[in-house]
């Protein structure tokens, strides 16, 4: 029962994020970059929230540059792992999709 309640809360939260993002867009005065900022925040959240999956599937060695650091994007972690040749095959595929340049430019020191 607790899992069902948790799942329902998850669905409500996803719905509210989507709806409130659109509503808030019309409330803010400076709309330039609004959705990019939201995407960046979701990217940083995803890096922390999905760290176990990302660490298990996208990088070989979890020690030097793992996923999950608060305030860092997925692309930044990928970029750091490009430099240390620490990407798995799946990690390299994601880098090809995002582009290596993007991942390297995204590195947060």
pLDDT tens digits for range 84-101: 999 999 999 999 999 999
Whether residue 109 is predicted with pLDDT greater than 80 in this model: the reply is no
Compute the 3-state secondary structure of the chain and give helix, strand, coil in percent, each to the nearest 5: 70, 0, 30
Please count the structural domains in the chain: 2
- Under DSSP, the state recorded for 31 is -
Cα angle for residues 18, 67, 43 (degrees, 5° grid) = 20
Residue 79 structure tokens:
């970029």
Q: Do residue 61 and residue 90 come from a single domain?
A: yes
Q: What is the pLDDT of residues 20-63, one digit of tens each?
A: 999 999 999 999 999 999 999 999 999 999 999 999 999 999 99
Q: What is the pTM of this model?
A: 0.86
For residue 96, the enclosing domain spans 39-109
26 and 73, same domain (yes or no): no
């Amino acid at each position: 029962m607790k899992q069902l309640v948790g799942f329902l809360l998850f669905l409500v939260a996803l719905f509210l994020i989507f709806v409130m993002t659109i509503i808030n867009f019309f409330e803010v005065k400076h709309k330039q970059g609004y959705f990019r900022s939201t995407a960046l925040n979701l990217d940083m959240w995803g890096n922390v929230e999905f760290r176990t999956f990302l660490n298990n599937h996208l990088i070989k060695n979890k020690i030097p540059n793992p996923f999950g650091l608060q305030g860092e994007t997925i692309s930044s972690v990928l970029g750091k792992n490009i430099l240390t040749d620490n990407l798995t095959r799946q990690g390299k595929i994601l880098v090809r999709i995002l582009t290596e340049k993007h991942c390297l430019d995204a590195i947060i020191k």
